[in-house]
């Protein structure tokens, strides 16, 4: 299965990086993984870590440079670079842009380019407005051809009642289902 070519695109949900990196580490041992980052993810230092350190770790894990500009990700579709493109984590911002057809980041460009050839895209959504401002965008994207979601749940219904996060334990399964053009069910899980 090392032949399966997965693009793994990180956007600026920095608090999710520990889970995303653990999942990526496991994926990189089994599949041919290339990392992509949004411009924000590539350049922003936060209390969750330094951008340069994340880039270095991604390049070590994949053995390839991180794709992080629109010019670098435009060939994703024409050159058929990935069997599946996973955006993990996917911010509310990136989901909103995808829902609106806006293509002004490396990751939104990669998704548009991947979809152009009818190839699958998987979104691991994570944002504290998932059941507020982002809800309509999730609904819009659920109804799009070739877009699939990693199953998600409310991570803290009491303190953050509008927050949704993806279940990274199911990222690989969601990618394999998407490769067969199926959505991994159930899309929504009970709070953990
Ligand atoms: C420390 C920190 C944590 C963040 N976590 C999230 C998050 O979990 N989900 C989200 O949608 N946005 C989050 N954001 C906001 C995004 O980084 C911001 O909307 C950014 O413009 C996203 O750009 P991108 O989608 O192109 O990566 C966070 C920002 C910071 C500084």
* Residues pairing with 6 in the sheet: 33, 84
What domain range includes position 48? 5-179
List residues near ligand 1 (CB under 6 A). 11-16, 38, 40-41, 46, 48, 91-94, 105, 126-127
Q: Which residue of 37, 87, 91 sits with most ligand 1 atoms within 8 Å of its CB, as the best mutation to test the pocket?
A: 91
111 in a structural domain: yes
Assigned domain for 121 exists: yes
pLDDT value at residue 35: 98
Q: What is the mean pLDDT of residues 4-19?
A: 98
Q: Which residues are bridge partners to 33 per DSSP?
A: 6
Q: Calculate how far, in angstroms, residue 91's C-alpha sits from the geometric centre of ligand 1.
A: 6
Query: What are the tokens at 69?
Result: 């500009």
Q: How far is the CA of 3 from the centre of ligand 1 (A)?
A: 32
As a whole number, the mean pLDDT across the chain is: 97
Rounded percentage of the chain residues whose pLDDT exceeds 70: 99
On whether residue 186 sits in a domain, the answer given is no
Could you check whether the bond before residue 186 is cis, i.e. omega within 30 degrees of 0? yes
SS (H, E, C) 47-114: CCECHHHHHHHHHHHHCCCCECCHHHHHHHCCCCCCCEEEEEEECHHHHHHHHHCCCCCHHHHHHHHH
Report if residue 188 sits inside a domain.
no
Q: Which is the closest atom of ligand 1 to the Cα of 107? A: 26
How many angstroms is it from 32 CA to the middle of ligand 1? 27
| Whole-angstrom distance, CA of residue 91 vs CA of residue 46 | 15
The per-residue pLDDT for range 84-131, each reduced to its tens digit, is 999 999 999 999 999 999 999 999 999 999 999 999 999 999 999 999
Using a pLDDT cut of 90, give the percent of the chain over it: 97
Confidence label for 192 from pLDDT (cuts 50, 70 and 90): confident
CATH number assigned to the domain comprising residue 94: 3.40.50.1950
Domain count of the fold of the chain: 1
pTM exceeds cut of 0.85? yes
191 belongs to a structural domain: no
- pLDDT tens, residue by residue, 132-145: 999 999 999 999 99
For 26-53, write each residue's pLDDT tens digit: 999 999 999 999 999 999 999 999 999 9
192 lies in some domain = no
């Amino acid at each position: 299965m090392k032949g399966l070519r997965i693009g793994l695109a990180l956007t600026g949900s920095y608090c999710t990086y520990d889970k995303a990196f653990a999942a990526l580490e496991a994926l990189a041992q089994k599949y041919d993984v290339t990392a992509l980052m949004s411009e924000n993810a590539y350049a922003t230092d936060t209390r969750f870590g330094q951008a340069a350190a994340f880039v270095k770790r991604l390049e070590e894990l994949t053995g390839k440079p991180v794709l992080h500009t629109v010019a670098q990700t435009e060939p994703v579709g024409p050159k058929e670079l990935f069997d599946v493109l996973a955006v993990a984590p996917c911010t509310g911002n990136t989901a909103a842009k995808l829902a609106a057809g806006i293509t002004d980041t490396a990751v939104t460009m990669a998704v548009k380019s991947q979809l152009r050839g009818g190839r699958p895209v998987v979104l691991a959504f994570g944002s504290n407005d998932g059941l507020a401002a982002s809800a309509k965008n999730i609904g819009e994207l659920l109804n799009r051809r070739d877009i699939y979601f990693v199953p998600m749940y409310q991570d803290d219904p009491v303190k953050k009642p509008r927050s949704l996060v993806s279940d990274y334990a199911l990222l690989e399964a969601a990618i394999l289902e998407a490769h067969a053009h199926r959505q991994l069910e159930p899309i929504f899980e009970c709070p953990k």
